[in-house]
Chains A and B, each alone.
Chain A
Amino acid sequence: MTHRQLAPGIVPGRLPAETIACNFADVLAPLDPHEARVAADRCYFCHDAPCITACPTSIDIPLFIRQIATGTPDAAARTIWDQNILGGMCARVCPTETLCEEACVREAAEGKPVEIGRLQRFATDGAMAKGHPYTRAPVTGRKVAVVGAGPAGLACAHRLAMLGHDVVVYDQRPKPGGLNEYGIAAYKATDGFAQAEVDWLLAIGGIDLRLGQALGRDFSLADLRATHDAVFLGIGLPGVNALGIPGEGLAGVHDAVDFIAELRQADLSTLPIGRDVVVIGGGMTAVDAAVQSKLLGAENVTLVYRRGRDRMSASGYEQDHAAQAGVKLVFNAVPLQVLGQGRAEAVEFAYAVDGVPGPETFLLKADQVFKAIGQRLVGVPADVARDGAKLAPQPLPGVWAGGDCTGGGEDLTVTAVAQGRDAAHAIHTALMGA
């Protein structure tokens, strides 16, 4: 262990640059053609396959795997993209262990499902390199505004463009991609894949991308409704939930989503990280923040969740991944306060029963604290239709919504793609008639 690794506080370069580079390499190597053929041969081509049902975008998985097995992976990619234009990213980030691969009958038979995610990546990576395969229908003259260039917005924009509509996509960030670019652990989407996929997607044409444009700051929803034939909102959940405990404002206490976004854009060898890191939360964001802290060289990383392991929204596979990376998982503990003189030094927790704190407490040393207890919808007009705390699928006349900002389904990339795609068809029907 180097001296640098034991340095107190939040400092860069805890590990040699080459070690960090290695830590953040592709977490699951792509299949080579031989491996893909062997993996594809395992598919039983089930009737009314459970994997299709389990996929939020309903990709015809047995068909695309058969297309790989018969030596036509580009046709496989078309099968994937017909349903999910971001099939390349979904192949990397989908929690397949709780979706298609959990449903795979070979999971029931042998505890070893067909490697659907990796096969999907094999097909889409190969075909993506050959250019964009879709062409647009004759231009309709209709113009649709899409707010948010994340998975929902991009999927919606692409399908609308395909159907012949002109699309303007607005995003407040300097780069498109949404959480594909600013969320998600870096080792799941290496080598600038998120941007490459957006570039490839936009190659269909008919999509005007306007970056650095924020809803409520640079334009209003009313403006968009007045100047476009329809509007799609794929704005995600920009608000971050607060802990609401003393010490939350101390230096060293961050939102995990900000850390992940910064990490995705940073030179990792110069990205500072604490020696003792505490992550509070139980979802994918918490796991991604914790694992990446460890990979940057934090000595101790503890993920603390207020309920039991079985209630964590991060899958068992992700929990194991965190544990394997050296993250300590603590369950049934709620934070009481962040302690420190001007900056975070420790977090005090109380052991809890089903999220309710009991009398016994403990301290965790922490020079860096990441909060990952969920995000919420902010920045939309008060008069829109809602589904609980989120947007309804059609919040206003002429306005559709999809992705994390809406209710229904889990907050997953693949769910956002499905909702964006389906909204595009709903808009098309509304504009052109059934």
Chain B
Amino acid sequence: MANLTSDFIGIKSPNPFWLASAPPTDKKYNVERAFQAGWGGVVWKTLGSEGPPIVNVNGPRYGAVWGADRRLLGLNNIELITDRPLEINLREIKEVKRKWRDRALVISLMVPCDEESWKDILTRIEDTEADGVELNFGCPHGMAERGMGSAVGQVPEYIEMVTRWVKKYSRMPCIVKLTPNVTSILPPAIAAHRGGADAVSLINTIKSITNVDLDNFSPFPMIDGQGSHGGYCGPAVKPIALNMVGEIARHSETRGLPISGIGGVTTWRDAAEFLAMGAGNVQVCTAAMTYGFKIVQEMISGLSQYLDDKGMALSDLVGRAVPNFVEWQDLNLNYVTKARIDQDACIKCGRCFAACEDTSHQAIFMHPGRVFEVNDAECVACNLCVDVCPVEDCITMVELPKGTVDPRTGKVVGDYANWTTHPNNPSARAAE
């Protein structure tokens, strides 16, 4: 078994799987169950300032998007930060940390955007013995309207300012949690970096309406016939999160800034992908809310086996895919592939044909007997047939060897060449 011990900005945990700040980490009872199940760490659900506790709605808090067989693909929530008194949370955090010394315990914070509020909360959590703080600049619902959460995360200057206060008033490692509800994730990440953040974590949830109740004509979750936007999470958001993590990991101004990857991590494979994309660890919420805490055991065994099979250490995996995350203009235009249909594996559903014929390049023949065959002279290698085929590996993309002629273009497959030097590019530079 590979060693999964994780050291993320000095915070140690037996594995890189943390539970994100969210409903599953709201209190001692849940967090202890998570640790018993094997989670490496938790980010305690966001604490607010001292004062009257937060109020939540008393109708549905969650909406969902389902795939086949009601498999939950996306979850949307309108729950706010913790609605329990601050003192109780602080006491329980301390109790849990003392009992579970080997686990990471980070406290998520969200208070009004003034120096005193931050100074005060940081003082209050000082003696919990927690391992670090995570600044919640991400939640897009409820708190944002009060000038907190994503309202801060959408203004890089505020991120930098608050991060500086936190570093000024606390010795704890500081993770800045970013909202994806921005045009580009880079300015907020750069701001966090400038403010002295030890790491960023992303993504928080995405502003969303999961569905509309067609009898009551209200967004869902519906409260007394009305709905507001919530924060979207779960497997559906993973592609958005991976891109944002990768953008930060490769950018010159943020390269090397530790990243805690969040967004739809459901299996060990998702986690491995985040790590390869530059995350130092991952945080999970929706998968645990869907299946319970036990899923971490599959994540642990799966990631261990993968690392063993590859002969890699955990640290070898982190950022491994970042150098290959390039811009479109860097892609090799002389890399030519053609779809190949494995006739033995084909079950003759014809979805590749329908997709190609109706919506792509008319590059699949339908022969008598429902035999489907790719027409290389038309195939642009778009991969749609691969994507819609219900049989894994039945359709694959085969590379044309260098020197052969692409029957579609009539051109010989040549050496690497990209758009920057392409003759059709008005601003192409001559190859040097």
Contacts and interface: CB of A to CB of B under 8 A. Distances in A.
A217 interface: no
Contact of B348 (A38, A45, A50): A50
Residue of B350, B354, B366, B391 with most partner-chain A CB within 10 A: B350
B390 interface: yes
A284 interface: no
Contacts of A106: 347
A122 B408 CA distance: 48
B368 to A, nearest CB: 12
Nearest to B354: A47
A46 interface: yes
B348 A105 contact: yes
Contacts of B353: 47
A432 interface: no
Interface string B320-360: 00000000000000000000000000011111011000000
A41 B66 CA distance: 12
A47 B390 CA distance: 13
Interface in A106-134: 106, 108-109
B70 interface: yes
Contact of B391 (A41, A42, A48, A109): A109
A44 B69 contact: no
B382 to A, nearest CB: 17
Contact of A108 (B69, B347, B351, B366): B347
Given A37-B69, A41-B69, 16 more contacts: A37-B70, A38-B69, A42-B68, A44-B351, A45-B351, A46-B348, A46-B349, A46-B351, A47-B349, A47-B366, A48-B350, A48-B366, A49-B350, A50-B348, A50-B370, A109-B391
Interface in A10-43: 37-38, 41-42
Contacts of A47: 349-351, 353-354, 366
A45 B352 CA distance: 12
Contacts of B354: 47
Nearest to B372: A47
Interface string A311-350: 0000000000000000000000000000000000000000
Interface string B383-407: 0000000110000000000000000
B212 to A, nearest CB: 14
Contacts of A48: 350, 366, 370
A320 B401 CA distance: 54
Interface residues of A, number: 15
Give the contact-size bracket for chain B: 10 to 19
A42 B349 CA distance: 13
B69 A105 contact: no
Given A105-B347, A105-B348, A105-B349, A44 B370 contact: no
Nearest to B394: A109
20 contacts: A37-B69, A37-B70, A38-B69, A41-B69, A42-B68, A44-B349, A44-B390, A45-B351, A47-B351, A48-B370, A49-B350, A50-B348, A50-B370, A105-B347, A105-B348, A106-B347, A108-B347, A108-B348, A109-B347, A109-B390
Interface of B: 68-70, 347-351, 353-354, 366, 370, 390-391
A335 B239 CA distance: 71
Contacts of B349: 44, 46-47, 105
A259 to B, nearest CB: 42
Contacts of A49: 350
A44 B352 CA distance: 11
Nearest to B352: A47
Report the 6 A-B pairs with minimum CB-CB distance, sorted nearest first.
A47-B350, A47-B354, A41-B68, A105-B347, A46-B349, A109-B347
Contacts of A50: 348, 370
A109 B353 CA distance: 18
Contacts of B391: 109
B423 to A, nearest CB: 39
A44 B389 CA distance: 9
Contacts of A41: 68-69
Nearest to B356: A47
A114 B353 CA distance: 21
A17 B360 CA distance: 64
A106 B350 CA distance: 12
Contacts of A44: 349, 351, 390
Contacts of A37: 69-70
A50 B353 CA distance: 14
A323 B351 CA distance: 39
Nearest to A34: B70
A105 B350 CA distance: 10
Contacts of B390: 44, 109
A79 to B, nearest CB: 19
B370 to A, nearest CB: 7
A50 B351 CA distance: 12
Residue of A41, A48, A105 with most partner-chain B CB within 10 A: A105
A38 B68 CA distance: 8
Contacts of B70: 37
B68 A46 contact: no
A37 B67 CA distance: 12
B365 to A, nearest CB: 13
A156 to B, nearest CB: 33
B354 to A, nearest CB: 4
Interface in A44-70: 44-50
A212 B362 CA distance: 60
B205 to A, nearest CB: 27
Nearest to B345: A109
Nearest to B348: A105
Contact of B350 (A38, A46, A108): A46
A102 to B, nearest CB: 13
A41 B370 CA distance: 23
Residue of B354, B370, B390 with most partner-chain A CB within 10 A: B370
B350 to A, nearest CB: 3
A317 B370 CA distance: 26
A108 B343 CA distance: 12
Contacts of A45: 351
Interface string A74-118: 000000000000000000000000000000011011000000000
Nearest to A46: B349
Contacts of B366: 47-48
Nearest to A45: B351
A38 B66 CA distance: 13
Contacts of A109: 347, 390-391
A47 B370 CA distance: 10
A333 B354 CA distance: 51
Contacts of B351: 44-47
A47 B347 CA distance: 12
Residue of A46, A47, A48 with most partner-chain B CB within 10 A: A47
Nearest to B355: A47
Contacts of B370: 48, 50
A41 B71 CA distance: 11
B272 to A, nearest CB: 28
B364 to A, nearest CB: 10
A42 B68 CA distance: 8
A49 B350 CA distance: 8
Contacts of A108: 347-348
A42 B390 CA distance: 11
Contacts of A42: 68
B278 to A, nearest CB: 36
Contacts of A38: 69
